[in-house]
Amino acid sequence: MTIGTTENPLRVAIIGAGPTGFYAADALLKNKDVVVEVDMFDRLPTPYGLVRGGVAPDHQKIKSVTKAYDRTAKKDEFRFFGHVELGKDVSVADLRNYYHQIIYSYGASSDRKLGIPGEDLIGSRTATEFVAWYNGHPDYRDYEFDLSQERVAVIGIGNVAMDVARILCRTQEELMKTDIASHALEALKNSKVKEVYVIGRRGPAQAAFTNTEIRELGELTAADAFVVPEEAQLDALSQQLLDESTDRMTKKKVEIIQSFIPNKRTDKPQALTVRFLASPVELIGDENGQLKAMRLVKNELYQSKDGSLRPRATEQFETLSVDLLFRSVGYRGLPIEGVPFNDSWGIISNDGGRVVDYETKAVITGEYAAGWIKRGPSGIIGTNKPDAVATVKLMMEDLAAGKTLTPAHPTAAEAEAFVKQQQPQYFTYEDWLKLDEAELAKGKEQGRPRVKFTKIEDMLAVKSA
Which residues would be at the binding site for ligand NAP (CB under 6 A)?
Answer: 114, 155-161, 163, 200-202, 206, 208, 213, 279, 328-331, 377-380
Q: Could you tell me the smallest distance in angstroms from the CB atom of residue 57 to ligand NAP?
A: 12
Q: Could you tell me the smallest distance in angstroms from the CB atom of residue 122 to ligand NAP?
A: 21
Q: Could you tell me the smallest distance in angstroms from the CB atom of residue 235 to ligand NAP?
A: 14
**Comparison of 103 and 199: residue with beta carbon closer to ligand NAP:** 199
Q: Could you tell me the smallest distance in angstroms from the CB atom of residue 265 to ligand NAP?
A: 26
The residues near 329 (Cβ < 8 Å, ≥ 6 apart) are 111, 112, 113, 114, 155, 156, 158
3-state SS, residue 66: helix
Instruction: With both helix axes pointing from N to C terminus, report the angle between 66-73 and 19-29 in degrees, rounded to the nearest 10.
Output: 40
298: left (phi over 0), alpha (psi -120 to 50) or beta: beta
Question: What secondary structure letter does DSSP report for 292?
Answer: E
Sign (positive or negative) of CA dihedral 404, 405, 408, 414: negative
Q: Could you tell me the smallest distance in angstroms from the CB atom of residue 17 to ligand NAP?
A: 18
Q: Could you tell me the smallest distance in angstroms from the CB atom of residue 135 to ligand NAP?
A: 12
**Comparison of 36 and 50: residue with beta carbon closer to ligand NAP:** 50
Q: Which of 146, 136, 224, 131 lies closest to 181, judged by CA? A: 136
**Comparison of 378 and 421: residue with beta carbon closer to ligand NAP:** 378
**Comparison of 191 and 206: residue with beta carbon closer to ligand NAP:** 206
**Comparison of 303 and 378: residue with beta carbon closer to ligand NAP:** 378
How far apart are alpha carbons 181 and 184 in whole angstroms? 5
**Comparison of 210 and 422: residue with beta carbon closer to ligand NAP:** 210
How far apart are alpha carbons 237 and 416 in whole angstroms? 60
How far apart are alpha carbons 37 and 5 in whole angstroms? 10
Tell me the β-bridge partners of 195.
151, 271
**Comparison of 120 and 397: residue with beta carbon closer to ligand NAP:** 120
Q: Could you tell me the smallest distance in angstroms from the CB atom of residue 313 to ligand NAP?
A: 11
The residues near 236 (Cβ < 8 Å, ≥ 6 apart) are none
Rounded to 10 degrees, the C-alpha dihedral 411/417/422/427 comes to 90
**Comparison of 101 and 178: residue with beta carbon closer to ligand NAP:** 178
Rounded to 10 degrees, the C-alpha dihedral 56/59/64/69 comes to -20
Q: Could you tell me the smallest distance in angstroms from the CB atom of residue 294 to ligand NAP?
A: 12
Q: Could you tell me the smallest distance in angstroms from the CB atom of residue 125 to ligand NAP?
A: 14
Q: Which of 131, 125, 134 lies closest to 155, judged by CA? A: 125
How far apart are alpha carbons 357 and 292 in whole angstroms? 45
Strands 341-342 and 331-332: unpaired
Of all residues in the shown chain, the one whose CB is closest to ligand NAP is 158
**Comparison of 206 and 404: residue with beta carbon closer to ligand NAP:** 206
**Comparison of 269 and 379: residue with beta carbon closer to ligand NAP:** 379
Burial class (CB in 10 A: 0-12, 13-18, 19+), 58: middle
Q: Could you tell me the smallest distance in angstroms from the CB atom of residue 278 to ligand NAP?
A: 9
